[in-house]
Structure 1
Amino acid sequence: MRELLKRHRELLRFAVVGGISFVITMSVDYGLKFTVLRTHPVTALILGVLVATIFSYVANREWSFRTRGGRERAHEAALFFLFSGVALGLNALPQWFSRYVLDLQVPRLSPVGVEVADFVSGIVIGTLLGTAFRWWAFKKWVFPDEDARLAVVAEDPDIQDRKAA
């Protein structure tokens, strides 16, 4: 079991960051949707995902993919936010489809029915689509080289001097 966890450490860390990001997304989404953005539920979801994405960049770079790299930090950040923007669209698409194509909103549904449809389409299906895309894109494009940051640490004499002290 320990070997399995060690082998999939990156994925497990990515999942933890994703879980925390999920809580951030839901908190912002429902906080806005039930207050200032009552008539704009997709906008509330997008803002929730945006706040969570900022957290996600820092946590993924410094923890989930801490040994991966291969790009200048500005290029890496630009790619991270570009792919996160695509994932944001994937995240919002099911709720948009549910609300505006299937017309799953009041008066066709009760307010509780609308919330269930929003939760299933936006939070469950949208999050699964966005997460699968992020995992693939981050490993393939944003943090492409395994152990790239370990190599930089090993070659940096200032870091080696601090370790020795």
Structure 2
Amino acid sequence: MSQRARWRRIAGLGARFLTVGAISTLIEIGVFNLLYLVFGWDPVSAKVVASLVALVNAYFGNREWTFRHRDRRGRTQEIVLFVLVNAACTALGALLVWAGVEAASAVLGREVGPFIVNGINLVSIVIVVLVRFWLYHSVVFRTAPPKTP
């Protein structure tokens, strides 16, 4: 496969991944704000729960559309890997939100408001999306190893 064809294939995967991710992000932001603003949850707990809710959409969208052509090693193993990767990514996102809120509070000398918390949440989402794509591509929905004759 030529380098150009490889990059075109990766770009197609990336576009489908970002489409699924955009829908999942809207779900995550909606649930996050519902829990944080309406129900008064703390930002880190709201982040964790919102991420987990959005993951349901992410799994099915990525398995059945983005990476549908990839090897299926068995639903159980794939779901276990998906859950482990997303547990790590959820923890990373929560850590980024916590660190960002703490840093912003320290810089401002006061508790931050919803606008800043949502800005920090969006930055955490961008970082986690990049990590998640790499892990989905290389670990969860990886291609089958070449068969030896």
Distance apart, 1:85 and its partner CA: 0.9
Moved over 6 A (4+): none
Provide the residue aligned with 2:115 in structure 1.
Answer: 116
CA RMSD of aligned residues (A): 2.7
Residue in 2 that maps onto 1:68 = 70
Alignment of 1:3-152 (within 5 A): 7=9, 8-36=11-39, 38-100=40-102, 102-103=104-105, 108-109=110-111, 113-123=112-122, 125-145=123-143
| CA drift at 1:54 | 1.1
CA apart distance, 1:84? 0.8
Q: In structure 2, the residue corresponding to 1:103 is in which secondary structure?
A: helix
* Cα displacement string for residues 70-121 of structure 1 (whole angstroms, at most 9, x for unaligned residues): 4211101100111011111121222101233553699814xxx522221221
Number of residue-to-residue matches in the alignment: 141
Partner secondary structure for residue 34 of structure 1: helix
2: CA distance between counterparts of 1:140 and 1:88? 18
Q: For structure 2, list consecutive stretches of 5 or more residues without a partner in the other structure.
A: none
Which sections of structure 1, spanning at least 5 residues, go unmatched?
Answer: 149-165
Q: Secondary structure at the match of 2:38?
A: coil
Q: TM-score, normalised by structure 2?
A: 0.82
In the aligned structure 2, how far is the partner of 1:43 from the partner of 1:84? Answer: 16
